[in-house]
Amino acid sequence: MTAAIYAFIVGFIVLNGIIGVVTYITLLERKFAARMQSRIGPYYLGWPHGWLQPIADALKLMMKEDIVPALADRRVYNLAPIVFLVPCMLIFATLPFAPGLGVADLNIGILFFLAVSAMEIVGLFMGGWGSNNKYALLSVMRAVNQIISYDLPFIFAALVPALLAGSLKLSGIAAAQPDVLHWFIFYPVIGQLAFVAYIVAMLAAENRVPFDILEAESELIAGFRVEYSGMKFALIQLGEYAHITATSFLGALLFLGAWSGPGAAEHPGLGILYFLLKAVGIFLLVTWVRWSFVRIRVDQILAISWKLLLPATLVLLMATAVVVAWKGPVVG
């Protein structure tokens, strides 16, 4: 019973912490993009530098009229944002934020993460199908294509550190990288290649420019969420940013040593801060790519995945297996 209460409290804190981080990561992205484009970005709501903007956005979305298209499949349409949001939030469950601080440090943590994160496509497809809109339909057709194509390379790239660490447990992978030199990104050749593959596959799996063909507002207006408004739109947006935040955290955990860093062993609080900063770093890397590239076409996206990224990550995974069989896993 006490364990259940403990899990409930931790889950509550993590969930709300995540929502807070996700809300403010949108502000970070807007500020970052604004600087790239020689603008200032949100400025007036909240001194200094518009830090109340995300709250104002959320309030605005709550006030908006909730529209259901007349010919929409009401049940599917209304359920879709929830089905989309739940896996995006659930993947945080296995993420440890410091040694021993996490909701559920499963033995197969990374597998759980990858499996649940791929489930967002169900909600996405329901939304696109249920809105009875041609743009949304085209968008989810693309989404299914793209997510199936990119989840495999994403999984393969994410499994490389798991193989190196010899553990599927996320805290185990983190523990195998106790200091900067042991971060898997610095593992000769394999680490760097896997990191690049991870970032590319992450861009695609998160539908960020240059792979955002399912949002593609210049062709498909807003893609699968074209008919959504108000809080349902906010839930989809929240899910999307939660997902990208989670994958940023995962990237920081797999390749950048999670909470390890100078002084983190003595002060666990410092470790959490390090972890957050690393995840934000990965997020900004993705944002940087997003705001500098143009979007590529659906056939080109599929070609990149099946002809280049998938074989490359497969070979990389096999090479890692050979290295591990020869030298044994890295044990921190």
Partner 1 sequence: MDIEGRQVLEMGYGGAERITMNMGPQHPSSHGVFRAILTLEGETVIAVDAVVGYLHRCHEKLSETLTYTQYPSIASKTDYVAAMTSELAYVRAAEMIGKIDVPKRAEYVRVIAAELQRVASHCLWLGTWCLDMGGALGGGATVFLYCIREREDVLDLFESLTGARLLYGLHQVGGVRYDIPAGWATQCRQTVDKIDRRIDEFEEMLESNAFFMARTQGVGVASRELAQEVGISGPLLRGSGVNYDIRRAEPYSSYGDFDFKVPVETAGDCFARYRVRMVEFRESIKIVRQALDGLPAGPISSRPGVKSVGQVRIPKGEAYARVEGARGEVGCYLIADGSAKPYRMKWRGASFSNLAILPHIIPGHKVADVVAIMGSVDPVFGEVDR
- Tell me the closest approach of the beta carbon of residue 78 to partner 1, in angstroms: 25
Is 223 a binder of partner 1 (CB under 8 A)?
no
Residue from 206, 215, 227, 240 that binds partner 1 (CB under 8 A)?
215
Is 225 a binder of partner 1 (CB under 8 A)?
no
Stretch that binds partner 1, among 12-20, 62-70, 146-154, 293-301 (CB under 8 A): 293-301
Is 221 a binder of partner 1 (CB under 8 A)?
yes
Gap between the Cα atoms of 184 and 76, Å rounded:
42
Gap between the Cα atoms of 64 and 203, Å rounded:
30
Gap between the Cα atoms of 111 and 119, Å rounded:
13
- HSE at residue 118, side-chain half, CA atoms within 13 A, is 18
- Tell me the closest approach of the beta carbon of residue 313 to partner 1, in angstroms: 20
Is 38 a binder of partner 1 (CB under 8 A)?
yes
CA 223, distance to chain mean position in Å, is 19
Stretch that binds partner 1, among 9-17, 169-177, 227-235, 298-306 (CB under 8 A): 298-306
Range 144-173, binding partner 1 (CB under 8 A): none
Site string for partner 1, 18-37 (x = CB under 8 A): ---------------x--xx
Residue from 216, 242, 244, 316 that binds partner 1 (CB under 8 A)?
216
| Two structure tokens written together for 293 | 């590239």
| Two structure tokens written together for 111 | 């597998």
- Tell me the closest approach of the beta carbon of residue 101 to partner 1, in angstroms: 34
Residue from 68, 79, 296, 319 that binds partner 1 (CB under 8 A)?
296
N residues, the chain:
332
Alpha-helix residue ranges (DSSP H) falling in 37-73: 53-63
Gap between the Cα atoms of 136 and 96, Å rounded:
36
Is 213 a binder of partner 1 (CB under 8 A)?
yes
Question: Can you count the helices (H) and strands (E) in the chain?
Answer: 13, 0
Judged by DSSP in three states, 28 sits in helix
Q: Which residues bind partner 1 (CB under 8 A)?
A: 33, 36-39, 134-135, 138, 141-142, 209-210, 212-213, 215-221, 290-300
